[in-house]
A = this chain, B = another copy of it.
Amino acid sequence: MNPSGLERLIEALRCLPGIGPKSAQRLAYHLMQHDRPGAARLGEAIGHALQAIRHCQRCNTFTELEICERCASPRRDASLLCVVETPVDMNMMEQTLAYQGLYYVLMGKISPLDGVGARQLALDRLLARATDGVVREVILATNFTNEGEATAHYITAMLKARGVGVTRIARGVPVGGELEFVDSGTLAQALRERRNLESS
């Protein structure tokens, strides 16, 4: 029922996760009817990004350089390597202002149901990075989901076998969190991982 160029656009929009046939049609109509300048910018931005965006050779995050600015910075502590699932997670860590080391971005997580194993994540690259002779401690900051935990366990085994020091960020009640609104699994973990308090 739609002209072919519009059908092609609708079909192409379905490459976006979470966009089904109806949503794709709505988006296509919106672009053609109400926002042609926006559509033109989007088309150009996609083309530019496809050409310019690659992965940092050291930390694997998105960059337009061979080695990203953070990895190239002499002000970061190269003996610490924090492993995160995504660039968003890396940004979250940066916003804490509590970390001065470097990162390795997995760009995913081990997820057997989605066919993602150690090989698809290219964990051999992380291994090479972590055993460069400068890294002293690898800090695992994958999510505390089933997949994130499985990923952390796999990486721990892989790195321990090479004698690399591995730590995991702590689990517990969020800062400012109220016990009433924390799930019991988290609370149980916070109880198990309780630590001694020094008199200050």
Interchain CB contact under 8 A, B88 and A9:
no
A68: chain B residues within 8 A (beta carbon): 3
Decide: B2 and A62 in contact? CB cutoff 8 A. Answer: yes
Q: Quick check: B9 and A17 within 8 Å, CB to CB?
A: no
Please name all residues of chain B whose beta carbon is closer than 8 Å to the beta carbon of A27 when the two chains form the complex. 16-17
| Contact B5–A49 (Cβ < 8 Å) | yes
Number of copies: 2
Residues of A2-34 whose CB lies within 8 A of B: 2-6, 8-9, 11-13, 15-17, 22, 25-33
* Residue contact A91 to B52, C-beta cutoff 8 Å: no
CB of A46 to closest CB in B, whole Å: 4
Nearest B-chain residue to A181, judged by Cβ: B22
Q: Are B52 and A5 in contact (CB under 8 A)?
A: yes
Known: A3-B53, A88-B25. A42 touches B64 (CB 8 A): no
- On whether the beta carbons of A53 and B29 are closer than 8 Å, the reply is no
By secondary structure, the A interface counts as: helix
Residues of chain A at interface, number, CB under 8 A: 56
Residues in B neighbouring A97, C-beta threshold 8 A: none
Are A45 and B87 closer than 8 Å at their CB atoms? no
Q: How far is the CA of A65 from the CA of B32 in the complex (A)?
A: 15
Instruction: Report the Cα distance A42→B42, complex, angstroms.
Output: 9
- A43 contact from B29, B47, B64, Cβ within 8 A: B47
Residues of B within 8 A of A32 (CB): 49-50, 53, 62
* Complex CA–CA separation, A29 to B26 (angstroms): 23
Q: Is A48 an interface residue (CB 8 A)?
A: yes
Q: How far is the CB of A108 from chain B (nearest CB, A)?
A: 8
Given the known interface contacts A15-B35, A42-B12, the answer about A5 and B87 at a Cβ–Cβ threshold of 8 Å is no
B-chain residues with CB within 8 Å of residue A17 when the two chains form the complex: 26-27, 30
Interface hits, A24-77 → B, CB 8 Å: 25-33, 35-36, 38-53, 62-65, 68
